[in-house]
Amino acid sequence: MNHRHVMSVTVQDKPGVLVRIASLFARRGYNIESLSVAQSELPGISRTTFVVTGEEHTLEQVQKQLYKLIDVIKVIDHSEAAFIDRELMLIKVAIKAPEDRVEVRQIAQDFRARIVDVHRQALIFEVTGDEGKLEAFIEQMRPFGILELIRTGRVALTRSAADPKIVGHLAKVA
């Protein structure tokens, strides 16, 4: 049975690492639904977050193969424990009448969305939150007309204290 997995892969920040990781997923037939990469708390170390859907057994094999890649430091399947995830979205919403502007702003306030650009015919909002919140905001804006939309992809951290073995290993690598 296919399940959705949110995975973080901590890597040394070197050219080609992302391509090797993405290729590994592709060879196993996984479509990467979401991808986010950025520097971590340590210089020279990046954290990549993937969202993929697939069978448990196959994903376990992918995790083992990830560890064989030379620049991979740590692999975490967040789906195995409690985690926090967030995503950023920019969304441009059409404003056709003054009353639309008032209603759209009220909905945005309810979602704690920030207005980042104002135009006579459109407003651009910045929305952060989990996938459900962003999807709900999109659905609330559809009747007004969504002109453009972009999402960053999810980022995630496990909800627990840092594992001293991992921190020590990362410090040695950095």
Contact 57, 77 (CB under 8 A): no
Query: What pLDDT is attached to residue 170?
Result: 52
77: enclosing H helix or E strand? strand 72-77
Query: What pLDDT is attached to residue 54?
Result: 80
Are 8 and 73 in a shared domain? yes
Q: Chunked in runs of 10, what are the mean pLDDT values of the chain (174 residues)? A: 87 93 86 90 94 83 88 90 93 97 98 97 97 97 98 90 52 52
pTM for the predicted model, two decimal places: 0.79
Number of domains in the chain: 2
Which CATH number covers residue 16? Answer: 3.30.70.260
Query: What pLDDT is attached to residue 73?
Result: 95
User: Residue 170 corresponds to which amino acid?
Assistant: L
Are 73 and 28 in a shared domain? yes
Are 99 and 123 in a shared domain? yes
Domain that holds residue 144: 84-151
Which CATH number covers residue 94? Answer: 3.30.70.1150
3-state secondary structure of 63: helix
Query: What pLDDT is attached to residue 13?
Result: 93
